[in-house]
Structure 1
C-alpha cells in the first residue's frame, strides 16, 4: 500500500482547505471510496462524510479531521496542512481499505471525516448529524512532535488540555491628552487586567495558563487618550475542573476592575474545547495494538497542553469509550509551524495500529458477550 498511501497524502497535502470549506476534499475522498465499492454518506449540513464497513455490534468509529490552517508560507498566504490532518485522513482511509481486504467483520467500523477541528467546534456539528449516536467505541489519531514522542513510539492516549478564548471590550470615552483626569485610559485598564490575571493561583500539580493575546486601543492621534479598547485572552488548563476556576477568575477580575475604574468591561467566552476524558478500556485495547504492531511497549498516556475538539464527542455522548492514538512521527519544528515536516513512514504504522485496534475491539467485545 505504500505507493497509494503516499499518492493520497500528496494530493490531500497539495489541495488543503480551511475550516468549513473542505468541499473539494470531501468530493475527492467520497469519489475514492465509491470507486473502491464503499457507500459513503455525505453530511447534510456541513462538509465531510462518513463511510462504514461490516455490520452489527460493536460499532466502532474512526475520526479523521480534514481542515487546514491559513498561514503565510514562502511569502504567500494559503491553506496549509501544518497540523497533520492530511496524514490523519490518509491513515483512516488506509484502515478502511485494509478492513475491506480482510473481508467479513463481525462488527461495524465507521470512518468519520470531520470538518473544522481547528476552530474547535467541528465535532459539535458532526454530533448534530447523528452519526455517532449508535457508536460504542471511538478512536482518533494525531501525529506528535519529536520532543514529545520519537518515531516509531506511540501512546495509547493523549491527555489534551482544555482551551477557552475570551473577547473583551472596555467601553469608556476618549478625552484630551492634556486632561487625563477627565476620563479613564483604557490602556491602563488593560494593563491592570494583565497584572491581576498574573496573580492567578491554581494547584501547581495541574498545568494552567491565562494570558492576553490581543489588544486594540487608540488611534493615529497621539493626543487622544483612548476610552475604548478591545482585548483577547487565551485560557488553557489540563482539566475541565481547573478551566472552570480560570473562567471564574477572569470574570471576577473584570467585574472588580470595572467597579474600580467606573467603566463598563464586557467579556464573551467562546470556542471552548474541553480537556480529554480517556476511556480506560479503549486505551487498553490501543496499548495492546501498539505493542503487537511495533513489538515494543506502548506509552500509556501523554500529557500535552494542546487542545482538540475530538473530546466533545465523549462530553456530549458519555457512553462512548474513546481514546486517541498518539502517533510518534518526529514532527519538526512543531505542530502549526508553517514549515512543519514529519516522518511519512509513521502513516503506515498508524494504519496498522488502528486496523489492529478495530479488529481487537471486535474480538474482545464478542469474547465478553460470550462470557456474559
Structure 2
C-alpha cells in the first residue's frame, strides 16, 4: 500500500465522523486540483498576478460572493455573508510565484519561462477557492467569511499593500487564518508553534565601508576597505553570540560582498549586503544601532568610515493563543491530536505577519510530502506538492471557520 493510498484512507475516516463535511470537501476536490494545475502552468510574479486574480474573481462571482478586485494592486477579496449578523473571519492565500525555472516532470509544468510556483502559492490559492466553493454551497448561519487572495508575498509587500487598501475593513475582520504547504510534513500532518511568534521579522541592510584606495603593492599608503570589511564581518557575528540573550533568536547573515576591479588595486570602498532575522519586536528594534556601532567603531579605528542603510521588510508573525487553541481543537476533531505537531519558530519570513499584527491570527503548516517527487524543499526548482493534501487543507480551514463563527456568533448581533 502506498503512502498516497494511506492519506486518502485517513481522510475517508471523516465519512463516519463528519459525513456532511466529508461529502462537501470531496465534492470540490477535483475542481481544486484542476485549478491548481492551471495556476501552476501559468505562474505570475509579484504584483503581476493579473491572470490569476482574474480567475479567482470570476470563480468567486460565479459562486455568489461579493467581490472586490485590485485591492493592493492585484489582490482580490471575496465576501460571503451569513443568514444572521456575527463576527468576520478572514482566510488568506498568496498568489505570486518566484523568478525560477520549473523543473518538475509533469504536464502542468510552468510555461512562463523563468517563473515558477516553487513555493506552493498555487496550492494556497486553490485550497482557498475550494473553501470558497464549499461555503457557497453550504452557506453560513451567521457572520461573514472574508477571503483574501494576496499578491506579492515573495517580496514582502502584498499584505501591507492590501491592508493599506482597506482589506481588513468594511467589514472589519475579527480574526485571520493562513497556511503554508510544507514538505517537512507528510500529507495528513499539520504543525504550529506554541510560541508567541512563529516566523521571523525580515530586515535587509547595506553597509558601505570606505577607505582610500591605491596600489596593492603599497598598502601602507592606503586605507584598505577590504581589510576593514573583513574585520567588520567577523565582529558583527558577536551581535548574535555575545550581545543577544542565548534564549532569544537572531540571525545575522551576509549574502553579498562587492568591491574592487583588479587584483593589484586596493579600492576606495566595499559594499556588504546582509539580512537580519528576529522574532521579538524589542530585539528587532535594537539591531540597527548595534550593527552601526560595531561597524563604525571598527572602521574609524582603521581611519576608514562605515555607513549603514537599514530596511525593515516584514514583521514577525504573531500567534494568538485563542486561535491556536481553535486550530488544535479543529485538527484533533477531524484527524486526531497526533496529526498536529508542535514546531519550532522559523527564521524565514512571511508577510502574513502584517495581518497578524492587526488582528488575532493563526498561521500553520500543511504537510504535502508523499513521495520522492514531493519531498523537495520550498524554493527548489523541483518543488511539487501531493494534491491529496488539499483535502486536509480544505477540511481544517472550513471547520475552523465554522467553529469560529458558531462559537462567537453572538458577539456582533
**Structure 1 length as normaliser, TM-score?**
0.91
* Residues 231, 95 of structure 1: alpha-carbon distance in 2 compared, 3 angstrom cutoff: same
The alignment covers a number of residue pairs equal to 364
CA RMSD of aligned residues (A): 2.2
CA distance in 1, matches of 2:283, 2:71: 36
**Alpha-carbon displacement from aligned partner over 1:302-361 (angstroms, at most 9, x marks no partner):** 42222111111232x2xx111113212225221111211222211111011101011100
Task: Tell me how far 1:287 sits from its aligned partner.
Answer: 1.3
Q: Distance in 1 between matches of 2:79 and 2:344?
A: 29
Shift of 1:272: 2.4
Distance 2:91 2:278 in 1: 26
Is the 8 Å Cα contact of residues 121 and 271 (structure 1) preserved in structure 2? no
Question: What is the CA–CA distance in structure 2 between the aligned matches of 1:101 and 1:74, rounded to whole Å?
Answer: 37
5+ long unaligned stretches in structure 2: 1-27, 105-111
Verify the 8 A CA contact 2:60 2:132 in the aligned structure 1: no
Q: Once the two structures are superposed, what CA deviation does each residue of 1:158-217 show, in whole Å capped at 9, x if it has no partner?
A: 811222111122233431222212222221122111110122222222332212110111
Structure 1: 5+ residue stretches without partners: none
State the distance in 2 between where 1:155 and 1:211 align: 27
**CA deviations over 1:59-114 (Å, ceiling 9, x no partner):** 11111111111124459961111111111101111111111111243010111111
Cα–Cα, structure 1 residues 136 and 44, in superposed 2: closer, same or farther, change >3 Å? Answer: closer
**In structure 1, what is the equivalent of residue 16 of structure 2?**
none
How do 1:1-372 residues align onto structure 2 when only pairs under 5 Å count?
1-44=28-71, 46-55=73-82, 56-74=85-103, 78-133=114-169, 134-146=172-184, 149-156=185-192, 159-200=198-239, 201=242, 202-219=244-261, 221-297=262-338, 298-300=340-342, 302-315=344-357, 317=358, 320-330=359-369, 332-366=375-409
Task: State whether residues 143 and 409 of structure 2, in contact with CA within 8 Å, keep that contact through their aligned partners in structure 1.
Answer: no
**CA distance in 2 between partners of 1:105 and 1:19 (Å):** 36
Match of 2:399, SS state, is: helix
Counterparts in 2 of 1:137 and 1:27: CA distance versus 1, 3 Å: same
Q: Which moved more, 1:27-36 or 1:280-289?
A: 27-36
The CA deviation at 1:301 is 5.5
Structure 2 distance, partners of 1:260, 1:174, is 17
Q: Secondary structure at the match of 1:160?
A: coil
CA contact (8 A) 2:32 2:130 kept: yes
Please list the CA deviations of residues 17-42 of structure 1 after superposition, one character each: whole Å capped at 9, or x if unmatched. Answer: 11121111111211222233323211
* SS of match in other structure, 2:100: strand
Give the whole-Å Cα distance in 2 for the aligned partners of 1:282 and 1:302: 18
CA distance in 1, matches of 2:276, 2:302: 24
Query: Which whole-Å CA distance do the structure 1 matches of 2:140 and 2:273 have between them?
Result: 52
Change (3 A) 1:361 1:129: same
